[in-house]
Amino acid sequence: MKIQGTVAAITGGASGLGAATARELIAAGGKVMILDRPQSDGAGFAAELGANAAFAAADVTREADVQAAIGETMKRFGAIHIAINCAGTGAAMRTVTKNGPMPIEIFSKVIEINLIGTFNVIRLAAAEMAKNSPNDEGERGVIVNTASIAAYDGQIGQAAYSASKGGVVAMTLPIARDLASLGIRVCTIAPGTFDTPMLAMLPEPQRQALGAQIPFPSRLGRPPEFAALARHIVENAMLNGETIRLDGALRMPPR
């Protein structure tokens, strides 16, 4: 799908991987609706990007929020062709600690945001994409999800996070098959250790140590590298139903 003239909705679009992807699609001639939490600087970021960007406050786990954001996208830009799911959260806790078992609320919250939230956006965005006229390849839409290599190499304390991202990986193919007759493609990116706002809070020696674990290049991934892959997925009509690791050959150790 050519990005020029298309409209994308990007969750978690106000920072990190989502913000880099928004910049990439705007640079390629697309229009972007940034979905993020009300307390984010999504409005300021959209203003920075210019007239081809807008912001809609939304909690991805709430049907009404996402429906309203997609409605605002349609009202502002007239269509939705691309949905990119970057919203997510994490929690580090062992299954059993010295204080007892992990509170089920922690596990449930991570699943709710990372997995259920992703599916919520997929289903609502795809319903609108299905109304688009197909392009020359028969495409009506493209959906790109964000998982993690923790889906495969989950570390100690990552049960909730790994389960949520593993679910995103596992549903990629069946959803791609579900939506194939509608001309909507679905792929997932599984990033390794990327230089996002979450990692920016770590001391520099710890950041360097994380980068040194990566075989090559031995550094943290850069958000524009994620954005470049997201763009390629959108533009390459043969990519469908696949999860792509973006990790510099990193295989995470137990801790």
Report whether 25 contacts 226 (CB < 8 A).
Answer: no
**Is 161 designated active site?**
yes
Helix (H, G, I), strand (E, B) or coil at 10: strand
Non-local (6+) Cβ contacts of 16 within 8 A are 86, 194, 196, 197, 198, 223
Report whether 153 contacts 165 (CB < 8 A).
Answer: no
- The Cβ of residue 32 has, within 10 Å, a number of other Cβ atoms equal to 29
- The Cβ of residue 131 has, within 10 Å, a number of other Cβ atoms equal to 12
Burial state string for 14-23 with b = 16 or more CB within 10 A and e = fewer than 16: bbbbbbbbbb
Sign of the Cα pseudo-torsion (93, 91, 150, 186, in order) = positive
Sheet holding 31-36, edge to edge: 53-57, 31-36, 7-11, 82-85, 141-146, 184-191, 243-246
Q: Active site residue: 55, 161, 194, 226, which one? A: 161
Report the catalytic residues: 161
